[in-house]
Chains A and B, each alone.
Chain A
Amino acid sequence: MKIENIKKEFPIFNNKIENNDLVYLDSANSSQKPLVVVDRIYDFYTKEFSNIGRSVHYLAVAATNLYENTRTAVQKYINAKNKNEIVFTKGATEAINLVASTFGQKYLKEGDEIIITELEHHSNYVPWHYLRKNKGIKINFAEIDEHGDISLESVEKQITSKTKMIALTHLSNVTGAILPIKEITELAHSKGIPVLVDGCQSAPHMKMDMQDLNCDFYAISCHKMYGPTGLGILYAKKKWLDDLPPYQGGGGMINEVKKNDISYGELPNKFEAGTMATAQVIAFNESINFLNKIGIDNLINHENDLLNYGEEVLRKNNSVKLIGNPKKKGAVLSFTIDGIHPHDIATILDEDGVAIRAGHHCCQILHDKLGLTASARASLGVYNTRDDLDKLNESINNCKKIFNK
Chain B
Amino acid sequence: MNLKELYQEIILDHGKNPRNLGKFENFNKDAKGHNPLCGDKVHLFLKLDENKNVNDISFEGEGCAISMASASIMTDLMKGKSEKDAKEIIDKFLDMIKEKDDINTNLLEEDEKTKLMSLGGVKNYPMRVKCATLSWHALSSALDEFQKDVTTE
Contact = CB atoms under 8 A, between A and B. Distances in A.
Interface of A: 340-344, 347-348, 350-351, 358-360, 364, 373-374, 402-404
A359 B37 CA distance: 7
Interface of B: 2-4, 7-8, 12, 16, 36-39, 63-66, 125, 127-128, 131
A373 B64 CA distance: 11
Contacts of B3: 347-348, 350-351
B37 A347 contact: no
Contacts of B8: 402
B38 A374 contact: yes
Nearest to B67: A341
B12 A341 contact: no
B39 A344 contact: no
Contacts of B64: 341, 343-344
Nearest to B41: A373
A343 B2 contact: no
A75 B4 CA distance: 48
B7 A348 contact: yes
A402 B12 contact: yes
A189 to B, nearest CB: 38
**Shortest Cβ-Cβ A-B pairs, 6 listed:** A373-B39, A341-B64, A351-B4, A343-B64, A344-B64, A344-B65
Contact of A344 (B7, B36, B37): B7
Nearest to B66: A344
Contacts of A350: 3
A47 to B, nearest CB: 38
Given A341-B64, A343-B127, A344-B64, A374 B39 contact: yes
A213 B38 CA distance: 36
Contact of A341 (B2, B36, B63, B125): B63
16 contacts: A341-B38, A341-B65, A343-B64, A343-B131, A344-B7, A344-B64, A344-B65, A347-B128, A350-B3, A351-B2, A351-B3, A360-B37, A364-B36, A374-B38, A402-B4, A404-B16
